[in-house]
Amino acid sequence: MLNWLRAGARFFQDKIGWNRLGFALSLSIIAIALVVLFRMLRGIEVDEVFEALRATEPRHIAIAAIFVAAGYFTLTFYDLFALRTIGRKEIPYRIAALAGFTSYSIGHNVGATVFTGGAVRYRIYSAWGLDAVAVAKVCFVAGLTFWLGNAAVLGLGITYAPLAATAIDQLPASVNRGLGVAMLVVLVCYVIWVWRGTRVIGRREWQVMLPGGPLTLLQIAIGIVDLSCCALAMYVLLPNEPYIGFVTIAVIFVSATLLGFASHSPGGLGVFDAAMLVALWQFDKEDLLAGLLLFRLLYYIVPFVLSLTILGARELLISMHSGSRLPKPPPIDTTAPIKSEVAAKTMIEKTDAG
């Protein structure tokens, strides 16, 4: 059976290609999201959206901003953990924080986070001696932390509140609960697997030693805190009526975020919003849209502008510093023409005398 699966996967890769499948899947998700958005926003009252924005309490916006800041603070530990995992303990936290914050905030907005975030990381870490392979390992371990956190949050959330997932995937609650339990079982099996011995994946210079059991639990904890902070920010910005529990909001939020991530659209634009509008149908559309706009401002736009400012200032300082270290040109000798003329006359005189 395993040989058949391998043969089928090899045939699919040769004839179609996994990259083409991923591209087609991304386009399909974006197309479906655009259709859903068009249908749901067709009768929207723009004036009511602005009225809902003005009616949002500044206190709620401030609390949401604090949760967003806490989420990005947690993201910095993705890189720090990854650096320690690959053995680069000499790189200080401030560099890991800079790389983690800027790579994720830019990757979230530009899209294709793996490539954009990797490029930002390479620009920062290369100054500390990391080559492209080492940066790729950092990206891999950081991504592993992200997915382990997602598996834990979704597994626990769907098992506890399966109807929350039903609002996204339209599957029966019993099926979703089974999926949640399956996620938790796979997660537990993975923890046991890395706990029982040293696990290395990859070949040659691409080998990465996976974190052991206790460190994997730390990975999961980091991911859970990150996603919880983001979900809390969204929860605070949602309308007060009707009341929906935080666990339900968290499951819907994480599911919508993963759909946006799978689409590779910048910031999950369109896909994330469509999923939230469909799943949270209980809310007034204008009020919900106002909350989504505020969340995008706090979680995407503000960190993106801040990251560009930080990286721009960093590049300017680097260029100024490197310019000051360039060797100074030799001083111009103003007497050189005179000396040359005297030397030439002396040589002529000696020639004539000879």
Q: For position 30, what pLDDT does the model report?
A: 58
Q: How many structural domains does the chain have?
A: 1
Identity of residue 284:
D
Q: Tell me, yes or no, whether 270 lies in a domain.
A: yes
Give the C-alpha separation, 1 to 13, whole Å.
18
- Residue 43: inside a domain, yes or no? no
Per-residue burial over 284-302, b if 16 or more Cβ lie within 10 Å, else e, is ebbbbbbbbbbbbbbbbee
pTM: 0.78
Residue 28 maps to a domain: no
User: For 87-109, how does the pLDDT look when each residue is reduced to its tens digit (9 = 90+)?
Assistant: 888 999 999 999 999 998 888 78
What was the pLDDT predicted at 334? 44
Domain contains 252: yes
Q: Does a structural domain hold residue 37?
A: no
Instruction: Per-residue pLDDT tens, the chain, 354 aa: give them.
Output: 445 545 555 655 555 554 565 556 556 655 655 665 556 566 666 777 788 888 889 999 999 999 999 999 999 999 999 999 988 889 999 999 999 999 988 887 876 677 788 888 988 998 888 988 999 999 999 999 999 999 999 999 999 999 888 888 888 999 999 999 999 999 999 999 999 988 888 787 788 888 988 999 999 999 999 999 999 999 999 988 888 889 999 999 998 888 877 777 776 777 888 888 888 888 888 888 899 999 999 998 899 999 989 988 888 888 887 655 544 444 444 444 444 444 444 444 444 444
Residue 86 lies in a domain: yes
* Per-residue pLDDT, 113: 72
The residue segments making up the domain with residue 227 are 56-319
As a three-state string, the secondary structure of 88-145 is: CCCCCHHHHHHHHHHHHHHHHHHCCHHHHHHHHHHHHHHHHCCCHHHHHHHHHHHHHH
Residues 199, 68: Cα–Cα separation, whole Å? 34
For residue 282, the model assigns a pLDDT of: 86
CA quadruple 111, 230, 95, 102: dihedral, nearest 10: 30
Q: Can you give the pLDDT at residue 191? A: 94
Residue at 290 is within a domain: yes
Structure tokens given for 86: 């690959």
At 227 the pLDDT is 93
Q: What pLDDT score does 170 carry?
A: 83
The per-residue pLDDT for 258 is 86
**Which pLDDT score is estimated for 40?**
56
pLDDT tens for residues 31-48?
Answer: 655 665 556 566 666 777
Distances, alpha carbon 286 to alpha carbons 47, 53, 351, in Å: 9, 9, 100
Model pLDDT, residue 118: 86
Three-class SS of 236-275:
HHCCCCCCCCHHHHHHHHHHHHHHHHHHCCHHHCCHHHHH
Question: Does 18 reside within a domain?
Answer: no
- How many C-beta atoms lie closer than 10 Å to residue 114's C-beta? 13
Q: What are phi and psi of 126, to 5 degrees?
A: -65, -30
